[in-house]
Amino acid sequence: MTNEEMVAEATALREKDNRIVSVTFYHDGWLPNCYKYRADGNRTTVDVSGEFIKTVHGIYDRKRSYGQGPAVVAYSAKGGRLYSR
C-alpha cells in the first residue's frame, strides 16, 4: 500500500467519524507468541487530526495471541480504538 493510498483511507475514515485522529496500518501481519525471539514488522501511522496530514513510519512487535490481529486500526484523541479491520 502506498503512502497516498494510506492517506486516502485515513481521510475517508476521518470523514465517517470525526473523532478519529490517527490511523495505523500494520504491513507485515502477525505471528503467534514466541517469547524467545524478536519479530519486528513495519507500520505506518497517519495523523489526520490537524490541518496538515502527518505520516510516521515505525516498527511494531508482530507477536500476538494465536497470531491474529487487525491490519488497520483507527484511534481517538484519548487513545481509544474506534475502528479496526
* Amino acid 38: pLDDT: 85
Convert the pLDDT of each residue in 4-34 to its tens digit.
999 999 999 999 999 999 999 999 999 998 7
Q: Which domain holds residue 42?
A: 3-84
Convert the pLDDT of each residue in 31-69 to its tens digit.
998 777 889 999 999 999 989 999 999 999 999 889 999
Q: How many Cα atoms within 13 Å fall on the side-chain side of residue 23?
A: 26
pTM: 0.93
Sign (positive or negative) of CA dihedral 14, 80, 52, 44: negative
* Number of compact structural domains in the chain: 1
